[in-house]
Structure 1
Amino acid sequence: MPTSSWAVSAAAAADGGSGDYGGFIGWVLGLMTALGEPGVGVALFIETFFPPLPSEAVLPSAGFLAYDGQMNVWLAIAWATAGALVGGWGFYAVGRLLGRERTMRLVSRTPLLEEEDFLKAEKFFSRFGGTAVLVGRCVPVVRSFISIPAGIARMPLFKFSLYTIIGSAVWNTIWIGLGFVFGPAVEPVLSRWSSVLSNAVLAVIGLLVLWFVVVRVRRLLRARRPDGTG
């Protein structure tokens, strides 16, 4: 199958962000084009800790690359699942090592992480137990944070890993499969909206950095006041 203009544009994005796909989205597409299947795993690992990069946008792109002959669809699914598992281990370790209260404080003070999202994942885990890890990997927002309450509850690592692999494999197969099956239909969507999505990501990052600075400045000012009031 001849190389499509989409793949050429993605390769150009890897070199300098040029081509039909702009900004951050173009960088992600270029990453997968440059690294092949392992690039999908890297993108999914980043998505675990960087919510503005949704897997629903990354995985269909990998499916299209597989359709276009740029990568093997099954290896793409395997690497995506591996990336999600390693990211899940990271959050699991945080919950297990720090415990609930310290984890809550860490989440509340970390840009890009929301305490509300952590509480949703915790409630989901409390309701369904270990099965929440398997099911939660297919639930937006919860899918990234579900590993934290699993670590806090000291869920056996083997069981956690098995459930994460199964749940992530199902999620990745669905979205990569859609990109593979619909093939060229993915291209005009990315061409039209890549710059918009990239600008939205940059706007979110800018607002989060501003929020982080404001919170830190207010905390320092409050600490310097004798009465400790804000």
Structure 2
Amino acid sequence: MNTIVEWVLDLMERIGGPGIALGILMENVFPPIPSEVILPLAGFTASQGRYSPAEAVLWATLGSVLGAIVLYGIGAALGLDRLRLIAKKMPLVDVADVDKADTWFTKHGPKAVFFGRFIPGVRSLISIPAGIDRMPMTTFIGFTTAGSLLWNSLFVWIGYQLGGRYHLVEEYMDPISKVVYVLIIIAVLATVAWMARRSMRRQRDPDDVVDLDTD
């Protein structure tokens, strides 16, 4: 982590605001790089007069949007039809599961993209189903920009206020992030368990099939 911080700080010192954008773009594409480190660091460098806090937020948001577009493109390249073919070859998964997830995302996608920007882990990956669903690019960029702008503004401002103590943000956010990751893992395991039970029910009685609620 220290290496990442040093690398990002070097970018900011060498090229200024574009270094923030590049660091956040990398954070989007490679989620293990935490924005909770990069953004307060950008606020700290802004407090040193290298650029204004507003410039730091704008550059960070540009990086967020560009990174999200990269992941959207991966999802679009995968596509719904290819995802259905993959689902056919996967144990426990039905093509109907893919269709229901797509229907849900078509209905709730903009909200998922917006609020997903505030959730560790989900913040980056939410762009992939948006690409699979082929969410209109203007809608995707609009909600991505809005959510990212709020998130980036908060952490840049905190880093600006803390100055040289910007690292305290990571110390406080790390436990929260770990709790979120644990909840995500539990949700995934619960889903797998539900699919396994469904598969066993079908083996016992092919007519006894309970589908997910599509609401």
**DSSP-derived class of the 2:79 partner:** helix
Alpha-carbon displacement from aligned partner over 1:40-88 (angstroms, at most 9, x marks no partner): 0000001111122100001000001111112211111111111111111
Q: 2:109 aligned with 1:129, yes or no?
A: yes
Q: 1:61 aligns with which of 27, 32, 41?
A: 41
Q: 2:69 aligns with which of 89, 94, 98?
A: 89
- Residue 153 and residue 182 in structure 1: after superposition, are their counterparts in 2 closer, same or farther (change >3 A)? same
Q: 2:166 aligned with 1:183, yes or no?
A: no
Distance 2:81 2:30 in 1: 22
Equivalences for residues 1-230 of structure 1 within 5 A:
22-100=2-80, 102=82, 125=105, 128-186=108-166
Paired residue type of 1:147: S
Contact 1:92/1:151 (<8 A) preserved: yes
Aligned pair count reads 156
Distance 1:23 1:127 in 2: 41
How high is the TM-score relative to the length of structure 2?
A: 0.64
Distance 1:47 1:66 in 2: 20
Identity of aligned residues (%): 39
Instruction: Tell me by how many angstroms 1:132 deviates.
Output: 0.8
Distance 2:15 2:56 in 1: 11
- Residue 104 and residue 49 in structure 1: after superposition, are their counterparts in 2 closer, same or farther (change >3 A)? farther
- Residue 67 and residue 148 in structure 1: after superposition, are their counterparts in 2 closer, same or farther (change >3 A)? same
How high is the TM-score relative to the length of structure 1?
A: 0.60
- Residue 177 and residue 153 in structure 1: after superposition, are their counterparts in 2 closer, same or farther (change >3 A)? same
Once superposed, what is the RMSD of the aligned Cα atoms? 2.8
- Residue 105 and residue 138 in structure 1: after superposition, are their counterparts in 2 closer, same or farther (change >3 A)? farther
Paired residue type of 1:39: G
Distance 2:134 2:82 in 1: 15
Structure 1 runs (4+) greater than 3 angstroms displaced? 100-106, 122-128
Distance 1:105 1:32 in 2: 44
Paired residue type of 1:52: P
Instruction: Tell me by how many angstroms 1:159 deviates.
Output: 0.6
Q: Could you tell me which runs of 5 or more consecutive residues in structure 2 were left unpaired when the two chains were aligned.
A: 87-97, 172-215
- Residue 142 and residue 181 in structure 1: after superposition, are their counterparts in 2 closer, same or farther (change >3 A)? same
Distance 1:94 1:105 in 2: 17
Contact 1:95/1:103 (<8 A) preserved: no
Paired residue type of 1:42: L
